[in-house]
Amino acid sequence: MSEPAPRKPIIDLEGVSLAFGPVRAVSDVWLTIASGEFFTLLGPSGCGKTSLLRILAGFETPTSGRVRLEGTDVTTTPPHLRPVNTVFQSYALFPHMTVAENAGFGLEMLGWPKQAIRERVAEVLALVGLAALGDRRPDALSGGQQQRVALGRALAPKPRVLLLDEPMSALDLKLRKEMQNELRRLHREAGITFVLVTHDQEEALALSDRVGVMKEGEIQQIATPRDIYRQPVDSYVADFIGEANLIPAGELDREGGGLVMVRPEDVSLAGKGVPVRIEGRLLELRFLGSIVEAAVATPGGTMIRARFPSAAMEEVALPPGETVGLAWPDAAERHLER
């Protein structure tokens, strides 16, 4: 079987920076996103991810650098002239319009013929699962349905890129899970590039082809969800993506300093015949059905968390304060700079 052809780049950011007076919201970002990719910008509030999305959308003009879409320089091109649409956190639906009218609003502004608008609106409402709700108004819809209307409206003009600005942050946990599935399906069926901004690491890992982790206006690492979880470039990424034990190398008798990262699911209590990586004082042991969680304090003051199948736990009561040994495989370690 032949290898699939590589995707062509659709977005190129070339040394993009954005400053508001003395504050640099985005600093010298170089980024290429492929056509049809689901790319996520992930980071805490204030890291610059939304500013970068606004630059892509055309709502902000970078202080320096260039933005290219399909090879064309659009750095100063206004939003309505870019093949890009945005779904905002607030959805921004018109309350006095029906679902169908909201979905077709952008097409009216673009001067589409009425019949073409009706046909396209029917297509996108079917795509987002709202074909039977075209006559309803937004206040008669659930939060998840309102988000689908916003997605349909953004997809209606057939953009080349769909930008998503934390679109699920207002939803409860159950609805967020459902909408994650919907976004995956929509991305697959629409066949266009999605760029998502979120602070939710689980959301980023679940949805993305690649993730860019941001800190203070810079992209720290770009990788697939698996690689960014298993092979973070530094302690910031390791700590932000999932839960990580960051152990000073000196506590493990390692040379060179720095930190050793081990994920909790790779750590277990050392049984008989298993080499002990480090000993410590058991702080707590929690039985959670299929898994057991342990917290252990090392002599150097580092707390290490372990998470392992409850079936692997011996029928022995380990009281807090007991000295225990911890073990993990060599492949589970990642050596990082502080």
CA distance linking residue 57 with residue 80, whole number of Å:
9
- For residue 299, CA distances in Å to 78, 236, 250, 276, 303 come to 59, 24, 12, 14, 10
Give the amino acid at 206.
A
Geometric angle at alpha carbon 227, from 1 and 47, rounded to 5°: 130
For 42, the enclosing helix (H) or strand (E) is: strand 38-42
Query: 285 by DSSP, 3-state: which?
Result: strand
* pLDDT the model gives residue 315: 53
Query: Each residue of 263-291: pLDDT tens digit?
Result: 999 999 887 778 899 999 999 988 888 88
Check residue 275 and report its DSSP letter.
Answer: P
Average pLDDT, the chain: 90
Express as a percent the part of the chain with pLDDT over 70.
Answer: 96
CA distance linking residue 35 with residue 122, whole number of Å:
26
Residue with token string 């039985």: 287
Residue bearing the bigger pLDDT, 82 or 274:
82
Highest mean pLDDT among 88-92, 189-193, 317-321: 189-193
* pLDDT the model gives residue 337: 83
End-to-end CA distance of the chain: 44
- Average pLDDT, stretch 141-159? 89
| Interstrand relation of 23-34 and 161-165 (parallel, antiparallel or unpaired) | unpaired
Residue bearing the bigger pLDDT, 177 or 318:
177
- Average pLDDT, stretch 94-121? 93
Express as a percent the part of the chain with pLDDT over 90.
Answer: 69
Q: Which of 53-62, 116-125, 141-150, 170-179 has the lowest mean pLDDT?
A: 170-179
Task: Categorize the per-residue pLDDT at 314 as very low, low, confident or very high, splitting at 50, 70 and 90.
Answer: low
pTM of the model: 0.89
Query: Each residue of 38-66: pLDDT tens digit?
Result: 999 999 999 999 999 999 999 999 999 99
Query: Each residue of 298-309: pLDDT tens digit?
Result: 999 999 999 988
| Joined tokens for residue 287 | 């039985």
Whether residue 187 is predicted with pLDDT greater than 90 in this model: the reply is: yes
Measured in degrees and rounded to the nearest 5, phi and psi for residue 160 equal: -80, -25
* pLDDT the model gives residue 1: 43
